[in-house]
Amino acid sequence: MDAAEFRRRGKEMVDYVADYLENIEQRPVYPDLEPGYLRSLIPTEAPLEPESYEEIMHDVERVIMPGVTHWHSPNFFAYFPAASSYPAMVADMLCGAIGCIGFSWAASPACTELETVMLDWLGKMLHLPESFIAGTHGHGGGVIQGTASEATLMALLAARCKTVRRVLASDSKKSESEILSKLVAYTSDQAHSSVERAALIGAVMMRKVPTDQHYAVREEMLRKMVEEDKAAGLIPFYVKNNTKHIYPQVYEATSSSFSGNKENMWMHIDAAYAGSAFICPEFRPLLNGIEYADSFNFNPHKFLLVNFDCSAMWVKKRADIIGAFKMEPLYLKHENQESGRHWQIPLGRRFRSLKLWFVFRMYGLKGLQAHIRKQVALAKEFESLVRADKRFEICAEVVLGLVCFRLKGSNELNQNLLKKITKSRELHLVPCQLSGRFVLRFAICARSTESRHIQQAWRHITQLAFELLQEQPH
């Protein structure tokens, strides 16, 4: 494919993409096939000679599309939103063409610099404390990570490094491995599995703090665990808390308990999903207390119309996170190396800030706020429908775009309801577990979801629930 053919095929693909997204509702949202379906549909080896573009596009519909879970269908209510917008897609085309590998300032100055400034823009949109903003003289600043898992891990590793150095400085008789074996990290018992993974990777202990009836970590409980661990000779060094997609109100109590950082613990706040909403003044109070955190991250690729992957992470002291990992072999050295980026696990990185730049400018802050508010209003609309039906109950406060609900009755009943929904393939939902109860999650996901889809989804769910209750023995 030369440039001339790319001009033709690229434009055809633009139309294919627009057609796909405009007509996505007509496709079953969830595929109907068994694991291993794809292997038998294509050859066992790569072709020796080139094939035609037409053959490949024919196979996209024959092989790929039947196996796609359509995350951008207005009938997709599973997991969490995967952000998608046309400006982000256009920016990604440019990113692919520039194709620089931004592992240092010199490797493409625009890549590093636009990222720094875009994270400042975004931090200001969220009204993050000044200490998280890079500006021209700040000690803090932001970086784009691939996912929140990587942000959580980077924060834990930076905290680990900082704590080991601190303890060594005060007691040089201790060995590094002795210190490592005593480090304890804390997280909520409601936290994402990626936190446990981060502790596993970093080879440190992780304790889960029990939560209260609001699924919130209470200051007293965390403090008690920390005191007990210290009394046992351990070294509490990291607490990761959430403004999580289910319970964004959780972390405030905790953060305030470590003001002044007198415990020498690193506090990382993860608002993977909820963070985007904080650009709206009415949701910003959920972030109160952030001034006590050492690092913060959320995923614009979830709720802020920036295609995956783009997880935004800020730190108060860049030196903490850079210092933990910097190693500069000669082939990466450069006179302006301090402007480089060594804030993540991979060395190479794409020019992802272009997506942020295009999206922020094509929507404007008001356009982005309107998107958030629309999605939250759709969740409230669904909540009202559930609350109006006495057979159902709401299982957690609806704060943003997620509604946790269930049929009043057994877990088995709700499992059967979900099975029926999944089997129908008209909607897609996934469950969660709240205090031992099997709960259905209804997440507002696609940008194209409208009130009529909510109404239609509820009609469908109640119809299936009606059938299910009819089938019950009594």
* Nearer to a second copy among residue 105 and residue 258 (C-beta): 105
Least separation in angstroms between residue 276's CB and a second copy is 13
Using the rule CB under 8 A, give the single segment among 1-9, 228-236, 374-382, 458-466 that binds a second copy.
1-9
- 27, 28, 53, 234: which one contacts a second copy (CB under 8 A)? 53
Site for a second copy in 312-351 (CB under 8 A): 324-325, 327-332, 336, 338-339, 345-348, 350
Site for a second copy in 64-103 (CB under 8 A): 64-72, 79, 82, 84-90, 92-94, 96-101
CB count within 10 Å of CB 340 equals: 20
Distance CA 160, CA 158 (A): 5
Does 189 bind a second copy (CB under 8 A)? Our answer is no
* Nearer to a second copy among residue 115 and residue 252 (C-beta): 115
Using the rule CB under 8 A, give the single segment among 49-57, 263-271, 392-400, 463-471 that binds a second copy.
49-57
Is 392 within 8 Å of 386 (Cβ atoms)?
yes
* Nearer to a second copy among residue 31 and residue 409 (C-beta): 31
- Name the phi and psi angles at 268, rounded to 5: -110, 130
Using the rule CB under 8 A, give the single segment among 165-173, 221-229, 261-269, 426-434 that binds a second copy.
426-434
Site for a second copy in 350-369 (CB under 8 A): 350, 354, 357-358, 360-367
Count of residues engaged in binding a second copy, rule: CB under 8 A: 141
The answer to whether the peptide bond before residue 32 is cis (omega within 30 degrees of 0) is no
Question: Which structure tokens are listed for 325?
Answer: 């990992």
Does 370 bind a second copy (CB under 8 A)? Our answer is no
Q: How many residues does the chain have?
A: 474
Going by C-alpha positions, the residue among 14, 21, 147, 16 that lies closest to residue 85 is 21
* Nearer to a second copy among residue 109 and residue 409 (C-beta): 109
Q: In terms of DSSP bridges, do strands 392-394 and 437-443 run parallel, antiparallel, or are they unpaired? A: unpaired
Least separation in angstroms between residue 393's CB and a second copy is 19
**Helix, strand, or coil (residue 186):** strand
CB count within 10 Å of CB 455 equals: 13
Least separation in angstroms between residue 262's CB and a second copy is 27
- 75, 119, 141, 149: which one contacts a second copy (CB under 8 A)? 149
CB count within 10 Å of CB 106 equals: 16
Site for a second copy in 282-311 (CB under 8 A): 307-309
Least separation in angstroms between residue 249's CB and a second copy is 20
Does 276 bind a second copy (CB under 8 A)? Our answer is no
Does 9 bind a second copy (CB under 8 A)? Our answer is yes
- The owner of tokens 């008001």 is 366
Q: How many C-alpha atoms does 65 have within 13 Å on its Cβ side?
A: 17
Least separation in angstroms between residue 410's CB and a second copy is 16
- The owner of tokens 């202990």 is 205
- CA angle at 436 for the pair 434 and 438, rounded to the nearest 5°: 65
Question: Which structure tokens are listed for 52?
Answer: 């035609």
Least separation in angstroms between residue 474's CB and a second copy is 28
Does 249 bind a second copy (CB under 8 A)? Our answer is no
CB count within 10 Å of CB 95 equals: 19
First-to-last C-alpha distance (Å) of the chain: 66
